[in-house]
């Protein structure tokens, strides 16, 4: 029997959240004891009420609207850490898991044959196109670790990777004991990549498990600083919204810690974004 804590955070997308929880409910198997910790970060669409009515066993934690992904997941994890678990799973609330996802990723962890195995992520595919949307990536150059390649393709064997997306990711208790929670240095994104780098710095290896584990659509560029249909002013304003683009000071911290030999150059490039945002956005196509 494995005790598993599943960690989620959500905000104002009640139908996606409920679909995710329904798919999670189907994961309960004889060898799994699953507890769900969900942070509702101030939703106004009735998410908490619906979850409380339909999934009363979920540990529902209320936020005030300023936690974003990284902060919400940190809070969920902090609550879960008050109990002993064998595994913790990051799960995005816009994921619909396949029926054996949790059992299969744990099975891979135990049978990978690598004593240094640490974080394991499960690939997500688009339900519409069946293309890989989230999973693991490898650094393109040893001296430029944050220059990442494309998502690793589907495979029938496990693949080592350098960073993982947090959509569906398994972290064993032994890793949590040394790496702890997600960093409080990041607001929304970057936290998952940072955690993978930290785990690797501790001497462990990150993996993408074989096959795919659920459905999740790519976040669109529409309504982000990369959306060239918007005015320059609108795109610059979006740079200040953490859920649209990583704040430049947080990105500077990330590349200072994980940017390898070229971090000073990357740091200066990011400083330009912070000091001259109109120029930076104008040059992005």
- 285, pLDDT greater than 80: no
In this predicted structure, which of 202-206, 207-211, 279-283 has the lowest mean pLDDT? 279-283
When pLDDT is averaged across residues 82-111 and rounded to a whole number, the result is 97
Handedness of CA 5, 182, 226, 264 (dihedral sign): negative
Contact present, 188 and 230 (Cβ < 8 Å): no
pLDDT (0 to 100) of residue 222: 87
pTM value? 0.95
Return the CATH architecture of domain 2-215: Alpha-Beta Complex (3.90)
pLDDT at 39: 98
pLDDT for 8-47, tens place per residue?
999 999 999 999 999 999 986 778 999 999 999 999 999 9
Compute the average pLDDT of residues 88-92: 98
What is the structure's pLDDT at 280?
87
Average pLDDT over residues 206-218: 97
b/e burial code for range 84-95 (CB count within 10 A of at least 16 → b): ebebbbbbbbbb
Task: Tell me the C-alpha distance between 108 and 143, whole Å.
Answer: 30
Q: How confident is the model at residue 168 (pLDDT cuts 50, 70, 90)?
A: very high
Percent of the chain with pLDDT over 90: 89
Beta-bridge mates of residue 232: none
The span from the CA of 40 to the CA of 18, in Å, is 12
pLDDT at 185 over 70: yes
């Amino acid at each position: 029997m494995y005790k598993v804590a599943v960690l989620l955070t959500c905000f104002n997308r009640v139908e996606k959240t409920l679909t995710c929880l329904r798919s999670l409910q189907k994961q309960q198997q004889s060898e799994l004891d699953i507890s769900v910790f969900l942070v509702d970060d101030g939703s106004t669409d009735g998410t908490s009420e619906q979850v409380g009515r339909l999934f009363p066993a979920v540990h529902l934690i209320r936020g005030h609207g300023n936690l974003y992904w990284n902060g919400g997941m940190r809070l969920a994890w902090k609550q879960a850490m008050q109990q002993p678990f064998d595994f913790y799973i990051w799960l995005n609330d816009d994921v619909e898991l396949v029926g054996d996802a949790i059992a299969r990723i744990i099975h891979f962890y135990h049978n990978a044959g690598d004593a240094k195995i640490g974080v394991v992520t499960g690939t997500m595919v688009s339900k519409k196109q069946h293309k890989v949307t989230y999973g693991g990536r490898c650094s393109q150059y040893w001296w430029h670790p944050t220059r990442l390649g494309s998502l690793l393709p589907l495979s029938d064997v496990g693949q080592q990777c350098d960073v993982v997306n947090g959509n569906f990711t398994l972290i064993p208790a032994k890793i949590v004991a040394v790496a702890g929670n997600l960093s409080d240095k990041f607001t929304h994104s970057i936290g998952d990549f940072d955690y993978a780098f930290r785990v690797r710095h501790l001497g462990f290896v990150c993996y993408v498990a074989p096959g795919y584990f659920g459905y999740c659509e790519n976040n669109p560029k529409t309504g982000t600083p990369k959306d060239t249909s918007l005015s320059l002013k609108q795109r610059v304003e979006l740079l200040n919204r953490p859920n649209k683009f990583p704040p430049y000071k947080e990105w500077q911290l990330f590349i200072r810690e994980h940017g390898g030999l070229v971090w000073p150059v990357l740091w200066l490039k990011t400083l330009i974004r912070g000091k001259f945002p109109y120029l930076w956005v104008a040059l992005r196509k």
